[in-house]
Every structure is written in structure tokens, then in C-alpha cells.
Amino acid sequence: MAPQLDAYFKSVDDLSSNFVERLSQAVAIPSISAEDERRPDVVKMGHFLKKQLEDLGAHMEARELGQQPHKEHLTLPPAIIGRYPAKKDESKRTVLVYGHYDVQPANLSDGWNTEPFKLTVDEQGRMYGRGSTDDKGPVLGWVNAIEAHQKAGVEFPVNLLMCFEGMEEYGSEGLDDFIIQECKPGKFFEDADVCCISDNYWLGTKKPCLTYGLRGCSYYSIEISGPGQDLHSGVYGGTAHEPMTDLVRVMASLVDEEGNILIPGIKELVAPVTEEEKEVYKNIDFTMDNLYESLGSKTGLFESKERTLMGRWRFPSLSLHGVEGAFSAPGAKTVIPAKVTGKFSIRTVPNMEPADVDELVFKYVNDVFAKLKTKNKLNVSLQHAGKWWVASPNHPNFTAAAKAVERVWGVKPDLTREGGSIPVTLTFEQATGKNVLLLPMGSSTDAAHSINEKLDKRNYIEGTKLLGSYLHYIAEEPMDQ
């Protein structure tokens, strides 16, 4: 039976100006995790969130995560965790939700049209401000959903467990171990039945989506060195092996101009595309013009949207990022750099195990370098690796969310994957052993991490309805999987 949601929806509409005010207060706290001097603001934001939820009767705790690795003089902002209702209702399911209350840096001088830490709503209902869509709007969506239930006198359908962190934009320092600990028997998150993360975006601007996959990322360095110091080409050009010459040849051998990874064995690790999967791609609301608009050019690799989306989501890609130690300034300096470090990464997909990828990369780079017969030295290494994640979109967690989307937005959501990574997703899946759903609130034009970040008021208010509706549908979705 479809849940009764009309009273809840009306309550959200009635409270909408309070909800915008709540977001405005949150945006006004510049909780930038990457800037040392803003750390008190990050902590202040965590306590603001805690207080908002306590005022609604939730049981909340601010858990310390220790000192910041590599910046030991800084204390990490607390994980704000909580439970609503404060006392568990054993007759109901338990949903664990995650979000983050820190934001990316922002300055008016970066090119913002409005003060980044003052929520500014234009006549089209676009709410500009740092953190509006990433991720304060979605986090407050959960708070709003609780309040709207109370005001409407509608019983809250589940036990809600909350995990809000303050270091997401700086690598989620300290969080992985904390989550793993708290998911153990007898700990705070032990009884989660499903997980939900609202911290990504629709593929476009019109149609909501549910996200069931993310690519991983393995990031490498190739260091090539020879001479004891930088040399002058007028004196030493033509007399010595040059590190830059070697590096360019090695880097050029990694990927071709059509985006094919040239490292033997990589292709063989990729799960084959199924017929069923091809069908899914056909119906996704995305056009080549969407790509061209976001690229700012027509330099796409493929002609079709299906192949383009597969290129972004379900095939690996290799990107060359830069060269440390190279002469990159303007002008015509005749230097021969003594040591250069090339950087590249591979976005990984099922079934590429990071350790297998490393082995193939190291072997190939060493082989290519050996063929150069240079007297320079090579050192290839992994900087960091995060694994890909793919969930089953047929799990009740997803079917419940799809019903909620249809109820609120009147359309079936697209099932999407993303080309990027949200590492905490995999942590929650592994630590709880439960299904994780990515349920976005904002749209593709929100400019998270960029200047003029915004969240459309419609996405915020309907998004609050969506989060609440999802809880009702997940409360009653048959769950025999």
C-alpha cells in the first residue's frame, strides 16, 4: 500500500521559508575544512547541526576523531552522529544516512557574483552560496524531514541513524576507522538495515536519478632522474641522456589519442558489457549537447551518448595530469631539467582489483623504460588508490527510492553511475554489509566545488519531500534479499 504522504508534503510546503532560513544560517558559517584558520568554523557548523537535531528531540553525540594526520597541531572536527527517535523503536527498520557539513574554499574575488557565505536567492529561486548543494542542503533535508513530520503529526516511519562529517572535502581524514568501529556489534551503527547518502547530483537538470556505481581511482608517479643538477642545453644538449625526453616517451606510451589504455592486461580485467546493460543506457536522459555544454567544446571522443556515458561510468580511463620539475613557465628558458616526475591516474571499474592494476602498470612502465636504453634512473610508484563501487539497483533500497521519486517528481528516476569517486560509500557498504543508495538532491548545474555554487529552491523543498518519502517507502518495501 502506498504510504499516506499528503499531510507530510503539505507540512514541508508550509515550512519552506523556515527551511530556507535554516540553510541560510548554515551557509553563513564558513566551514572550510582545507583552511587551518577556519577550523573553529567547521567545529561551529558541526555543533549548529547537532543543536538543530537536539531541538527536534534526536539523541546526538559529537565524537572526537583525534589530531589531523600531517597537521598534528590541528584537531579534527567531530563526527556528528545521532539517532531519531532518540529511543529505538524495535518495530521499525533502521536507515543510516551520511552527509558532510564542511565545504570547499570560496572567496568573492574568485569570481563569485554574490558573497559566497551569504545565501542569496534570485528571482528564479536559485539559492547561491558555498555549501548550498554540497552538502549542507541535503544534510538539512534530513533535519527538515524530521521537523515536517512533527508539525504534521505524522509518525516517523523508521529509526534514523545519522553520520555527518566535517572533513569530506579534505579526504575524510579519520572517518574510515571511525565508521568501521561504530558498525561493530554493540556500537552506534550496528543495527543499520540500509544506508543512504545524499551527496551527488542529477545527471541533468530535469530528471532525478538514483546512483548505483562509482569508479575508483589509482594515481601514479613516474620519476626519472639523471644529471646531478639542472643543465643548460647550449653546453650539455647533445651530450647527456635527458630525463624529460625519456619521460615524454614513457607517458606517451600509456594511452592513445582515442582514449585507449595501452597497458597490456588492463582491458582483460574489465567486466564485459551485458545486453541488459546496453538497454539501460539507451533510456537515460542525456544528450551529446549536454556533454558539449559541460566540456565547453565539441571535442568528445565518441559520437553516441551511450558510448560516451559508458566511457565515463563503466570503462576505465587513463589521464595524464602533469609533470613536476618541468619548465612550465612562459618564456624560452633553455634548461634541461635534472629530475622530472610525471603524474597520471587510472579511473577503475569492475572487476579491476587495485593491486592487479598496480602490478600491470609497474611492469609496463619498467618495460617501456628499459627499451629506451637510457642511462637515467626510473622510479614508478602508486600515490593513492580508492576502489570502485557498484550496488545492485534491483535491491529494495533502490526500488523504494524509485517509488519515492515517482511520488514526488512524477517520473521514474534514471539509474546512473558516476565517473568520479565518493570513497565513504564503499566504507559504509563494507562496514555494515548492507546496501548503499546514493540519492541526490541537486542538479547538474549546481556548480559544487566551483564559483557561484547554488541549489534550486525547488530541488531543496521537493528534495526534502523526497528524503522523507524514501523513509516511508523503505519502511514497507518487501526485503527478502
What residues are designated binding site for Mn(2+)?
100, 134, 169, 199, 449
Q: Does 135 bind Zn ion (CB under 5 A)?
A: yes
Q: Candidates 151-159, 196-204, 214-222, 286-294 — which segment interacts with Zn ion by CB under 5 A?
A: 196-204
* 41 vs 134 by CB, closer to Zn ion: 134
Residue 103 near residue 133 (C-beta atoms within 8 A): no
Binding residues: 100, 134, 169, 199, 232, 334, 347, 421, 449
Q: Which of 310, 322, 326 has its CA nearest to residue 259?
A: 310
In whole angstroms, how close is the CB of 153 to Zn ion at the nearest point? 33
Q: Return the exposure string of 389-413: e unless at least 16 CB atoms fall within 10 Å of the residue's CB, then b.
A: bbbebebbbbbbbbbbbebbbeeeb
Q: Does 102 bind Zn ion (CB under 5 A)?
A: no
In whole angstroms, how close is the CB of 430 to Zn ion at the nearest point? 20
* 232 vs 449 by CB, closer to Zn ion: 449
Q: Does 134 bind Zn ion (CB under 5 A)?
A: yes
Long-range CB contact pairs, 394-399, < 8 A, 24+: 395/435, 395/437, 395/481, 396/194, 396/435, 396/474, 396/477, 396/478, 396/479, 396/481, 397/194, 397/195, 397/196, 397/435, 397/436, 397/437, 397/474, 397/477, 398/210, 398/212, 398/435, 398/437, 399/477
Number of residues forming the site for Zn ion (CB under 5 A): 3
Q: Candidates 61-69, 70-78, 197-205, 397-405 — which segment interacts with Zn ion by CB under 5 A?
A: 197-205
Q: Which of 392, 366, 389 has its CA nearest to residue 379?
A: 366
In whole angstroms, how close is the CB of 99 to Zn ion at the nearest point? 8
Q: Candidates 66-74, 86-94, 193-201, 278-286 — which segment interacts with Zn ion by CB under 5 A?
A: 193-201
Binding residues for substrate: 199, 232, 334, 347, 421, 449
CA distances from 310 to 234, 275, 320, 350, 412 (A): 49, 13, 20, 13, 21
In whole angstroms, how close is the CB of 440 to Zn ion at the nearest point? 10
Q: Does 462 bind Zn ion (CB under 5 A)?
A: no
Whether residue 168 lies in the annotated active site:
yes
Given the residues 168, 182, 223, 418, the one annotated as active site: 168
Q: Does 199 bind Zn ion (CB under 5 A)?
A: yes
Whether residue 193 lies in the annotated active site:
no
Q: Does 147 bind Zn ion (CB under 5 A)?
A: no
Backbone angles phi, psi at 187, to 5 degrees: -100, 180
* 41 vs 199 by CB, closer to Zn ion: 199
Residue 169 near residue 420 (C-beta atoms within 8 A): no
Q: Which stretches of the chain bind Zn ion, using CB under 5 A?
A: 134-135, 199
Which residues are marked as active site?
102, 168
